[in-house]
Amino acid sequence: MEHTQSKEELIKENSALKNELNDLKLIIEAVTGHSDGIESELLEKIHAGEKLFQVMSKTIPVPFFISLKDSGKILFSNKHAYQIFGYSAEVFLTKEMLDLYSDPKEFQTFITVLSQYGQVDNFEATLKKSDNSLLIVYLFSQPIVFKEQACLLTVIYDLTERIKAEEEKSALENQLRQTQKMEAIGTMAGGISHDLNNILAIIFGNIELSMMILPEDNEVQKLLTCALSAAKRAKEMVKQILDFCRQKEHERIPVKIKQVVSEAVGMIKELMPSTIQIKLEIEPQLSTIQGDPTQIHQILMNLCSNSAYAMRDTGGVIEIILKEVHKNLATTRIANPKPVSYVVLTVKDTGCGIEKTIMDRIFDPFFTTKPVGKGTGLGLSVVYGIIKSFGGTITVESELGKGAAFHCYFPLSSKTSDSADPTDIQKKVNGGKEKILLVDDEEDVLLIFKSMIESLGYEVITHSNSLQALQMVQKSKNDVDLVVTDNMMPNMMGTTLAEKILAIRPNMPIILCTGLDIQINKDHLSSIGIKGFINKPYSLQQLAFLIRKLLDERNR
Amino acid sequence: MQVQGDKYTIVYHSETATVRCDGMLDLRGKDGYTEISELFTKVLDQIPLPKKIILDIRDLEFLNSSGITTLGGFIIRLRNKGGIQLLIQCANKHSWQLRSMKGLQKLMSEGLELNFE
């Protein structure tokens, strides 16, 4: 009986165990099926992720690489990354992050930032290319897991183009500032020069008249000669300011610069101390430039004078080189991009050089490093003004203690040179008895000119108002033989007055004079019918010569 | 009744007799699922037991193999109680649910209904 019960219980237990086993099998099946599904989904995701990664690394035009977080060994790089460093893919994958830095300390800073913030953004670094040239970049790094290893994904943002663009922008801004500054100074200096010339005209006139009145052996003559000499120096300084302002009309003619420079260098050699050697190197075939020989002389004189000053204690060599170049000067300082062919005159010395800090100011008028009384600070500004007026440009290279080189670029002339050298020949002064109308709005100037012209024997009628002067000519008709008029006058400009007088008397000889010849165009004056032109301040001799010349021409 | 983790929430709503599982269940081994297993026990120990219990996993994004085992255990205990219907509400957007819930359905050949939406 007991045995039968045990058997039933065993059968029951066996059945329960079978059910349990079945349940377990089903659960295992469900779990296995579930796991297989999840695995295949994960694999699909991994493959999709890998594919996406491959496509992205090939497509994104941004250099990036993956390196081991601990050792920095590079495990992966897209082509933009290894190409930017100038490596092949194979070689780049043998490198470590540290190998890419030009300064190991910078890499340590990168690691410090990474450990502090967990990632790195906008880290400016100077990296090293395969040819050891430098690459300035921003780095962006994030920790990632790559091939089951702790890694860093680093994206490189190349700053080279940006830095270049910023430098170009800065150079253009400097160029613009320089031009604006020079224009402002030019306008101001031009205005001052105009007034100074009027004042100098009075001084010159009075001195010359006094010298004429006094006997030649009078003691005061010496004092007046001294005053005249000082006035001439002042006149020269005003001339230099006007040259800088480009407001002085200089005749632009085709110039064989080779001859002009050779001639000027010959003269400069005579003036230089024996401790300074001058070497001249001229390219045999040089094109003609459009300019003014006198002003080229001045450029050379000013530059050589500065060089000589820079070598005053040590002596040295001044090299003067003249050659033709084809160059785009668009990005250089004080640039004038046209034309692209230039004759370049280089004045190079072995002197003390120019400090970087003053390089921006050396062309400014009145800027000088010389002690008080040793320099006016106009030399380089005049050179600058002349070259700009030729349509050229000037650049400078210098390092402290290693000399300086000034390169003057002159645009080529389309015309050929006839080697003309127009020089006014001073002739013996003759006066006359004719009647001269003198018009100037400045009473003092009027007074002194009247005295000067009267001292030559002429009869002089004066008017400080151009409208009244015109009325007088209209009324008196044939009474006046010649008109001397200022140009810059209120009510009516000298050129307009001349036009109106010539409308009444077409053969009237008219001399136009001014202290600021900014807008005077000699062709224009001739077309109006103005036959004479003179700049203030002028000497009695110059004025007398011109008056007599025009009166004689009329009488022929 | 409720069990909540960083990435999941399990709640039993007695008024509708619904166990709702949301989030991601990737707890480690049997021990990891102890709390959830205890919640299932409480559901099955209710007096009186509801005639129909709903297991809503529509917003359960992921369930690992230990989680499947725990669910399997719940289904077996519910089946052994006898006389209780089980409705599992699934979502087609989670592809694993179709495969895995059909496997678990075999544990309760009668009285277990799967509803996909």
Query: pLDDT tens for residues A66-86?
Result: 999 999 999 999 999 999 999
The string over A380-411, giving b where at least 16 C-beta atoms fall within 10 Å of a residue's C-beta and e elsewhere, is bbbbbbbbbbbbbbbbbebeeeebbbbbbbbb
Give the residue from chain B lying closest to A21, CA to CA. B107
Both structure tokens of A366: 């009145």
Average pLDDT of span A295-319: 89
| C-alpha separations of A556 from A379, A550, A551, A553, B55 in Å | 46, 10, 9, 5, 129
Residue A350 is classified by DSSP as -
CATH for A435-555 is 3.40.50.2300
Q: Mean pLDDT over residues B68-83, rounded? A: 92
Q: What is the pLDDT of residue B19?
A: 96
A60 pairs with which residues across the strands?
Answer: none
What residues does B106 pair with on adjacent strands? none
Which of the pair, A413 or A499, is modelled with greater confidence?
A499
Contact (CB<8Å) B96/A29: no
Residue A123 to residue A100: CA distance in whole angstroms: 14
Q: Which of A23, A26, A34 sits opposite B100 (nearest CB)?
A: A34
Give the minimum alpha-carbon distance from A50 to chain B in angstroms, rounded to a whole number: 22
pLDDT band at A331 (very low <50, low <70, confident <90, very high): very low
- Spans of all domains in chain B: 2-116
What is A253-411's CATH number, 3.90.420.10, 3.40.190.10, 3.30.565.10, 3.20.20.105? Answer: 3.30.565.10
What's the pLDDT at A477? Answer: 64
Q: Are residues B103 and A23, on separate chains, in Cβ contact within 8 Å?
A: no
Tell me the CA distances in angstroms from B47 to A338, A351, B39, B51, one per residue in order: 101, 109, 15, 11
| pLDDT per residue as tens digits for the range B23-71 | 999 999 989 999 999 999 999 999 888 999 999 999 999 999 899 999 9
How high is the pLDDT of residue B77?
93
| Binary contact (A26, B72; C-beta < 8 A) | yes
CB contact under 8 A, A27 and B72: yes
| Tokens of residue A245, six digits | 């302002």
Residue A37 sits at the chain B interface (C-beta within 8 Å): yes
Q: Which of the pair, A205 or A85, is modelled with greater confidence?
A: A85
Q: Domain A166-245 has what CATH class?
A: mainly alpha
Task: Label residue A3 by pLDDT band (50, 70, 90).
Answer: low
Using the Cβ of B24 and the Cβ atoms of chain A, whether some distance falls under 8 Å is answered with no
| Nearest-angstrom CA–CA distance, B14 and B47 | 11
Phi, psi angle pair for A345, to nearest 5°: -105, 115
**Contact at CB, A37 and B68, closer than 8 angstroms:** no
Of A26, A34, A41, the CB nearest to B106: A26
Following CA atoms A71, A75, A81, A83 in sequence, which dihedral angle do they give, to the nearest 10 degrees? Answer: 110
Q: What is the CATH number of domain B2-116?
A: 3.30.750.24
**Is it the case that residue A146 has pLDDT exceeding 70?**
yes
Residue B99 to residue A34, Cβ atoms within 8 A = yes
pLDDT in tens, A485-542: 988 888 888 889 999 999 988 889 999 887 655 456 677 778 888 888 887 777 777 8
CA A460 to chain CA mean position, Å: 50
* Interface touch B72/A37, C-beta < 8 Å: no
By C-alpha distance, the chain A residue nearest B100 is: A34
Q: Which residues contact A396 (CB under 8 A, 6 or more apart)?
A: A333, A354, A359, A362, A404, A405, A406, A407
A33 touches chain B (CB under 8 A): yes
Facing residue for A30 by CB, picked from B64, B95, B103: B103
A167 has a chain B CB within 8 A of its CB: no
What is chain A's mean pLDDT, rounded? 83
In the structure encoding, which two tokens stand for residue A186, read together?
Answer: 């030019």
Domain A64-158 is of which CATH architecture?
2-Layer Sandwich (3.30)
- Give the separation between CA A395 and CA A73, rounded to whole angstroms: 48
CB within 8 Å: B72 and A35: no
* Structure-token pair, residue B117: 């939406």
- In this structure, what is the dihedral angle of CA atoms A355, A360, A363, A365, given to the nearest 10 degrees? -100
Please check whether residue A287 is in contact with residue A413, taking contact to mean a CB–CB distance below 8 angstroms.
yes
Instruction: With beta carbons under 8 A apart, name residues in chain A contacting B33.
Output: none
Tell me the C-alpha distance between A94 and A73, whole Å: 7
CB pairs under 8 A between A and B: 47
Q: Which residues pair with A325 in a beta bridge?
A: A342
Task: Compare all CA atoms of chain A with the CA of B62 and give the residue at the minimum distance.
Answer: A38
Percent of chain B with pLDDT over 70: 100
